[in-house]
Amino acid sequence: MVIGVDLDEVLVPTLSYHCNFLNRKYNLSLKEEDFHAYRFWEIYHVSREQATKDWFEFCDTNIFMSMEPFPEALDGVRELKKLRELYVVTSRQNSLRGVTQNFVDKNFPGIFSKIVLGNLYSEIGEQFSKLDLCRKEGVELLVEDNAEHAIEVSKEIPVVLQRKRWNMKVKEGGKIYVAESWPETVEKARQILSPSSQS
């Protein structure tokens, strides 16, 4: 069985790097604290189409290529790997498979067995929700930061939702377990997957 781990904002603080890119492009002063929702177009007031274009432009920059993971993430996934096989489960586009694989290989060597892409917001290829990906890949627990994905996936499987400014409205309950840090993420995963919790 498999634990799925989201990439952006769970393994790597992509938003802070993306803010740097947007600040340079639009002469803004965006900070991660400004993001009460993970909907970029709402925060810096552009169309959804423009925000998507900005994302792809950002993905072609050295800023994107040189992102560093969260300091606690490596120890966290090493602990999760003791519990189950690990897959990266991300909404990233198919066009980013190569750079995503390189990032994972460089920063999390030998940890993840597979990278699964949802290809969301892409104009090319089929798109899959996080729930679709979890069903398809046999994921029995997902570590996630996005409120919408967490709510959808938790209808069928447990989700450890890492607390971020943009998911503050989501409360713990049902199959959603809120974690304030990577060590707490690991502890919640252990509790969820322990034999006693499934009896």
**pLDDT, tens digit, 9 for 90 and up, residues 72-113:** 999 999 999 999 999 999 999 999 999 999 999 999 999 999
Whether residue 197 is predicted with pLDDT greater than 90 in this model: the reply is: no
**pLDDT, tens digit, 9 for 90 and up, residues 124-161:** 999 999 999 999 999 999 999 999 999 999 999 999 99
Contact 100, 90 (CB under 8 A): yes
**pLDDT, tens digit, 9 for 90 and up, residues 11-21:** 999 999 999 99
From residue 15, give the alpha-carbon distance in Å to each of 11, 35, 145, 148, 175: 12, 9, 12, 17, 26
Whether residue 45 is predicted with pLDDT greater than 70 in this model: the reply is: yes
The set of long-range contacts for 68-73, using a CB threshold of 8 Å and a minimum separation of 24, is: 68/12, 68/107, 69/11, 69/12, 69/107, 69/108, 70/10, 70/11, 70/12, 70/13, 70/182, 72/181, 72/182, 72/183, 73/10, 73/11, 73/12, 73/108, 73/182
Percent of the chain with pLDDT over 70: 98
